[in-house]
Amino acid sequence: MSATHFRWPGFDTVLNAFAMWFLAFMWALPLLYAIWTAFHPAAYETNFVWNAPLTLDNFAKAWAAAPFARYFLNTFMLVTMILICQFVLCTLAAFAFARFTFPGRGILFALVLLQLLVMPDILIVENYKTIRSLELVDTILAIGLPYFASGFGIFLLRQTFMSVPRELDDAARVEGTSFLGLLWKVYIPLAKPTYLAYGLVSVSHHWNNFLWPLIITNSVETRPVTVGLSVFAAIDAGLEWSVINAATLMTSGPLLIAFLLFQRQFVQSFMRAGIR
Amino acid sequence: MMHRREWVYGWLFLSPALLFLFTFTHYPAVKTVISSFYSTPKGRRPAKFIGSENYQTLIQDDVFWQVLVNNFWFAVGTIPISIGLALLMALWVNSKLKGRTLSRVAFFAPTVLPLIAVANIWMFFYTPGFGLIDQFRSGLFGLPAINLIGNPDTVLAAMIVVAIWKEAGFFMIFYLAALQSIPPVLKEAADVEGASSFYYLRRILLPLLMPTTLFVSINAVINSFRLVDHIFVMTEGGPDNASSLLLYYIYETAFKYWQTGYAATLTVVMLVLLSILAIGQFFLFDRKVHYQ
């Protein structure tokens, strides 16, 4: 806004600004509070003085009290595995729905969309039986398997692929490019913002997932951080809040930092992905 | 000839995804319905067909009805408020107000935090006497300590607050995306016509945002069944099942008491409810949604 157009903000604007700040503060409060307790000695848990001594002891204690390094490795492997499989499977399926005509396309697409409603998250009883019959209980692979094909991912990529100009497609076909080459050279590069948006959603979803990993894992070697944290916090005898909050921050830290770094791209890629 | 080749490729590209979808979504959904008519296999005794026995147990199960009522109030408490707040947040963040970027970060941050982890933080807020809410109450108003999550009358409301806090910022993103796609010409025209901001919101913005509202509200309904992680940390469904929700009860039945037959029956209830609500919403909104 240039200086010539400057107007004193009206009462309406001031009121809205204050309301927004208030709500934003309320929303940030749990996180700010966790940061406060995690970086201060236990004595300052509810004593908010500006000169309270800073410490990293809580993190050290939490790190020593449970095998968090292993949990992080498990989560990292899990999230990477799911992301790669989702990208490959959803890309192929979305391409088929967007550019091929074949019998059964409509009904198959409806079945894919059904997964948006009936998610593996709620089919825990039968999926557990399936994993048990595959003898995969307590493996990282088992945590990921139900999520490899994602209805949301297929839907999102199909929308993007359908917006690719037909002329580009035809030109490549005339040159005799194979379907896979066409996908690789034309469609995937044009869908980059969608991949970014979907990737961020997928990573944060599976980093945070709890119920299914809780059911399917029962050892340190397979537990992701979320389950590890719940096991750690459940011992509770003698654990100080400051230590629990340090562990809480630690488990969400990488994701939170990634979000703060990418938040602009995140919001923008959502918008470009055409989710409205 | 070309067409036949397209068929083959279409199916070929589709098959890996479909294999996983069928194995972990469609097959278990159908199998759940079948299992609900069978007993729970125990040791060497395989599951046997018992007709509607599980459903009779269900009707007489007081805990089931309580959990269903809890889930109803949880949905009623979370869905409208989180959608309303999401819209408000999006309108604010999309305006020219000072501090909108920082506010956007604050609103959205809960989305990327694991629910199981933030439950620990909220737990501390709610701790009687010592927690932040009580510190605030006694410090400012001299009120006595209250145990919000130890009291069956307040525990569900305490859970609803956590859920709203968790999901409102996520829904905000969808509204924000929709708002940014609305041509500014509309606002200018409304200003020229002398329409009030409220009139513009009610007669222009809200109708244009209807498809988003439909999408968000279906997601909110699904979330009201799916968001149970915090219960594990905060209450374990208690006190007296006052904060237990359907999915949590399914988990308890299947993996604490190993009554998988009965757990399948409970899952059927959930699938039926989800379908009815999703279809219902679609028809409810259908007449109001104007696709561009």
CATH architecture, domain A63-272: Orthogonal Bundle (1.10)
In the block, which residue shows the tokens 């009610």? B202
Q: Is B188 exposed, middle or buried (0-12, 13-18, 19+ CB in 10 A)?
A: exposed
Distance of CA B29 to the CA centre of its chain: 20
Q: Which residues of B touch A13 (CB under 8 A)?
A: 97
Whether residue A226 contacts residue A251, with contact meaning beta carbons closer than 8 Å, is answered with yes
Please tell me the distance from the alpha carbon of residue B167 to that of residue B107, in angstroms, as a whole number.
9
Chain B hits for A233, CB-CB cut-off 8 Å, are: 120, 233
Residues 186-215 of B with CB under 8 A from A: 197, 211-212, 215
Give the separation between CA B213 and CA B285, rounded to whole angstroms.
9
Count of CB atoms within 10 A of residue B138's CB? Answer: 13
Q: Answer yes or no: are the C-beta atoms of B68 and B250 closer than 8 Å.
A: no
In chain A, the N- to C-terminal Cα span, in Å, equals 29
B28 closest CB neighbour out of A12, A31, A126: A126
Residue pair A89/A148 in contact (Cβ under 8 Å)? The answer is yes
CA atoms of A119 and A108, how far apart (whole Å): 17
Give the model confidence (pLDDT) of A172-186 as tens digits: 878 888 888 888 988
pLDDT above 70: residue A269: no
Kindly indicate the confidence band of residue A3, based on its pLDDT and cuts at 50, 70 and 90. Answer: very low
**CB spacing of B7 vs A12 below 8 angstroms:** no
Spell out the domain ranges in chain B.
62-286
Nearest to A276 among B106, B165, B177 (CB): B177
Confidence of residue A2 (pLDDT cuts 50, 70, 90): very low
Q: Taking a contact as any Cβ pair under 8 Å apart, which residues of chain B between 82 and 111 contact chain A?
A: 85, 88-89, 92-93, 95-100, 102-111
Picking from A20, A91, A216, A272 by the largest number of B CB atoms within 10 A of its own CB, the best residue to mutate is: A20
Of B56, B64, B24, give the one whose Cα is nearest residue B39: B56
Task: Write out pLDDT tens, residues A107-118.
Answer: 999 999 888 888
The answer to whether the beta carbons of residues B204 and B218 sit under 8 Å apart is: no
Determine how many CB atoms are found less than 10 A away from the CB of residue A77.
16
The residue ranges of every structural domain in chain A are 15-55, 63-272
Q: Which residues of A touch B197 (CB under 8 A)?
A: 12
Q: How far is CA B253 from CA B40, B256, B267, in A?
A: 11, 6, 11
Q: Is A168 exposed, middle or buried (0-12, 13-18, 19+ CB in 10 A)?
A: middle
Q: Count the Cβ atoms, other than its own, within 10 Å of residue A235.
A: 10
Distance from CA of A30 to the nearest CA of B (A): 6
Task: Kindly give the parts of chain B with pLDDT less than 70.
Answer: 1-3, 286-292
Report pLDDT digits (tens) over B36-93.
Answer: 999 888 877 888 888 888 999 999 999 999 999 999 999 999 999 999 999 999 999 9
CATH classification number, B62-286, choose in 1.10.443.10, 2.60.120.10, 3.30.1330.90, 1.10.3720.10:
1.10.3720.10
Per the listing, tokens 């940390």 go with B233
Query: For A27, which of B121, B165, B178 is closest by C-beta distance?
Result: B165
pTM: 0.90
* Residue in chain B lying closest to A103 (CA): B7
Q: Hey, are the CB atoms on A23 and B107 less than 8 Å from each other?
A: yes
Find the CB nearest A252 among B9, B113, B254.
Answer: B113
B129 Rama sector, left if φ>0, alpha if ψ -120 to 50, beta otherwise: left
